[in-house]
Amino acid sequence: MVCYENTVSCAVVGDGMVGKTCLAKRFAGNQFSEQYVATVAETSTGSVSAYGDKYSVNSYEDQSARSKTITESDVIVVCYSAVDKESFENVKSFWIPMVRKLNKKKPIVLVATHSDMRDENNTDHVTDTEGQNFMKSINADYYNKCSAATNEGVKNVFESVVCAAIRYRKKKTNVLKRVFAR
């Protein structure tokens, strides 16, 4: 049985067809399908090691209860497709403002999916530099690129989720200690 401290929950958000469900399924069970099926609600669980401990990571994607999923998760994973500039622009104009409105202080992991399909010379694609600069501008905790198709970077995404959750929990604990130490 996994204790609470070693369980992390994350909400996975982003435009349709950017690979959110494929990312979660690849992490949870090393499964990948090229067929697109619109997701209404999906829960996946996988495990990852960080700081010498094993963590269970529950990822939630729920279109019907998005605000509840975001407010109750430890970390928010915001996805865009590296080969779809419009999905990146929607992260800027819609997803980040919505996440910040619902959950100002929760950690954010920015994820560029479909990295295996990206061509750095194609101006319709989003470069790593653009992703990293945007991560800094919104004070996100991590930026990762991944491909659920090749499994490249998938584990790194969820390691970042765990690291962000641990840092947030420590920060929150330190604030409480300062408040109650008075």
Instruction: Provide the β-strand partners of residue 7.
Output: 56
Q: What is the pLDDT of residue 3?
A: 46
Three-state secondary-structure class, residue 15: coil
Full set of structural domains in the chain with CATH: 4-180 (3.40.50.300)
d(CA 39, CA 37): 6
Over its length of 182 residues, how does the chain's per-residue pLDDT go in tens digits? 344 469 999 999 999 999 999 999 999 987 766 766 666 567 899 999 998 999 999 999 877 667 889 999 999 999 999 999 999 999 999 999 999 999 888 999 999 999 999 987 888 899 999 999 999 999 999 999 999 999 999 999 999 999 999 999 887 666 555 566 65
Give SS3 for 72.
helix
Q: Do residues 155 and 27 touch, judged by C-beta distance below 8 A? A: yes
Six-digit token string for 105: 């202080």
